[in-house]
């Protein structure tokens, strides 16, 4: 058997073991916390079936990390539409969510230069864009919310009250935004900026973290109202307290990653796994260059993003 076939066979045995664990834990004792039970049972079962010490360290990590990250993730419900969109210039992810039955949609963190792409997609899919939301007042690109209001009349722009930016609707902590039968809950997660929010869709087991938590990273805290201690508390108190299996979708990624989970970031985020003092020290020494667009983006985003509207072709 070739090494890759052997690894495939091991993974199949692990999946079978994981299924057994899921079945056992489904009706199991409540004396242990759900997370402890899942992680412990998974690792115990894997070790019972496979002598993992015979595998290389990479494969050992790959197999054991599945216990916390993959096994218990919920699929989206059949009536929930999800589409991740990307802007290559600013490395920004936007997210189109919709209720497939009622066709009501929302768009999180649209980018001005992609507004015509997004509007076309929304029209092609027969959706009505109810809300165009920003997780915060961005510094690296102009938001598409203002232009989308023109392209798709009836759309309302949304941002947090704490952002100080103009919008049709201002969200406060714990407020919900409804689209069809679905809803997201907006949690204040300041630190990168004062007005940062994380949007949680509880039923679908996912959250949109903006720049508060990035995949194996986090938003910088060296401009606007950035504050490292505040960001650390936001992540630990409001994102890491979500269920371990929640899928997390950030506003940016610079390395080609697309999503993560609460469990993964709690284990592997090189910044947020540190204690708060070490985190503050690290964030104070990032020495990142300022975003190229900051002088244009922040004033535009304070006005909901109407700035240099691209000409129609």
Q: Does 219 bind ligand L3IBWBLD (CB under 6 A)?
A: yes
- Cα gap 11→187, rounded to integer Å: 37
- Which of 57, 41, 39, 61 minimizes the C-alpha distance to 49? 41
- Convert 43-53 to b/e letters by CB count within 10 Å (16 or more is b): bebbeeebebe
Nearer to ligand L3IBWBLD, 77 or 290 (CB): 290
Q: What is the 3-state secondary structure (H, E, C) of the chain?
A: CCHHHHHHHHHHHHHHHHHHHHHHHHCCCCCCCHHHHHHHHHHHHHHHHCCHHHCCHHHHHHHHHHHHHCCCCCCCCCCEEEEEEEECCCCEEEEEEEECCCCEEEEECCEHHHHHHHHHHHHHCCCEEEEEECCCCCCCCCECHHHHHHHCCCCEEEEEHHHCCCCCEEECCCCEEEECCEEEEEEECCCCCCCCEEEEEHHHCEEEEECCEECCEECCCCCCCCCHHHHHHHHHHHHCCCCCCCEEEECECCCCCCCEEHHHHHHHCCCCCCCHHHHHHHHCCCCCCCCCCHHHHHHHHHCCCCCCCCCCC
Query: Least distance from C-beta 82 to ligand L3IBWBLD, angstroms?
Result: 23
**By C-beta, is 35 or 233 nearer to ligand L3IBWBLD?**
233
Please choose, out of 179-187, 211-219, 239-247, 272-280, the segment that lies near ligand L3IBWBLD by the rule CB under 6 A.
211-219
By C-beta, is 180 or 217 nearer to ligand L3IBWBLD? 217
- Using CB under 6 A, which of 220, 228, 244, 260 touches ligand L3IBWBLD? 220
What residues from 73 to 102 belong to the interface with ligand L3IBWBLD (CB under 6 A)? Answer: 90
Is 140 one of the binding residues for ligand L3IBWBLD (CB under 6 A)?
yes
Does 252 engage in binding with ligand L3IBWBLD (CB under 6 A)?
yes
Please state the closest distance from residue 257 (CB atom) to ligand L3IBWBLD, in A: 13
Give CA–CA dist 274/268, Å, rounded: 10
- Binding-site member from 292, 295, 308, 310 for ligand L3IBWBLD (CB under 6 A): 292
Binding piece for ligand L3IBWBLD, criterion CB under 6 A, among 71-79, 168-176, 182-190, 212-220: 212-220
Q: Does 164 contact ligand L3IBWBLD by CB under 6 A?
A: no
From the list 118, 211, 253, 265, which residue makes contact with ligand L3IBWBLD (rule: CB under 6 A)? 211
Q: How far is the CB of 189 from ligand L3IBWBLD (least distance, A)?
A: 13
Kindly tell me which of 133 and 151 has the beta carbon lying closer to ligand L3IBWBLD.
Answer: 133
Among residues 97, 115, 139, 262, the one that binds ligand L3IBWBLD under rule CB under 6 A: 139
d(CA 191, CA 137): 12
- Residue 74 vs 292, nearer CB to ligand L3IBWBLD: 292
Q: Is 67 in the site for ligand L3IBWBLD (CB under 6 A)?
A: no
Q: Report 271-290 residues binding ligand L3IBWBLD (CB under 6 A).
A: 288
* Interface contacts to ligand L3IBWBLD, rule CB under 6 A: 90, 139-140, 211, 217, 219-220, 252, 288, 291-293
């Amino acid at each position: 058997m070739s090494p890759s076939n052997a690894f495939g066979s091991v993974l199949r045995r692990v999946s079978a073991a994981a299924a057994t664990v899921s079945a056992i834990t489904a009706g199991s004792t409540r004396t242990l916390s759900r997370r402890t039970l899942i992680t412990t049972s998974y690792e115990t079962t894997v070790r019972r079936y496979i002598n993992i010490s015979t595998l290389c360290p990479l494969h050992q990590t790959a197999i054991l990390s599945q216990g916390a990250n993959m096994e218990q993730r919920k699929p989206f419900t059949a009536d929930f539409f999800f589409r991740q969109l990307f802007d290559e210039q600013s490395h920004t992810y936007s997210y189109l969510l919709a209720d497939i039955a009622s066709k009501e949609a929302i768009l999180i963190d649209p980018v001005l230069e992609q507004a015509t792409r997004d509007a076309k997609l929304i029209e092609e899919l027969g959706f009505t864009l109810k809300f165009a939301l920003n997780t915060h007042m961005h510094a690296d690109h102009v938001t598409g919310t203002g232009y989308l209001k023109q392209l798709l009349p009836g759309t309302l722009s949304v941002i947090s009250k704490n952002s100080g930016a103009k919008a049709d609707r201002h969200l406060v902590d714990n407020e919900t935004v409804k689209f069809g039968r679905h809803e997201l809950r907006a949690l204040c997660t300041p630190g990168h900026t004062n007005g940062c929010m994380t949007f949680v869709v509880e039923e679908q087991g996912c959250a949109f973290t903006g720049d508060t938590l990035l995949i194996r990273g986090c938003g910088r805290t060296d401009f606007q109202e950035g504050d490292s201690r505040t960001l650390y508390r936001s992540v630990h108190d409001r994102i890491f307290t979500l269920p371990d299996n929640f899928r997390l979708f950030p506003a940016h990624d610079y390395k080609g990653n697309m999503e993560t989970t609460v469990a993964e970031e709690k284990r592997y985020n090189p910044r947020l796994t540190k204690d708060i003092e070490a985190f503050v020290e690290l964030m104070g020494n990032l020495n990142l260059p300022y975003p190229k667009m900051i002088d244009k983006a922040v004033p535009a985003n304070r006005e909901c993003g109407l700035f240099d509207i691209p000409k129609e072709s």
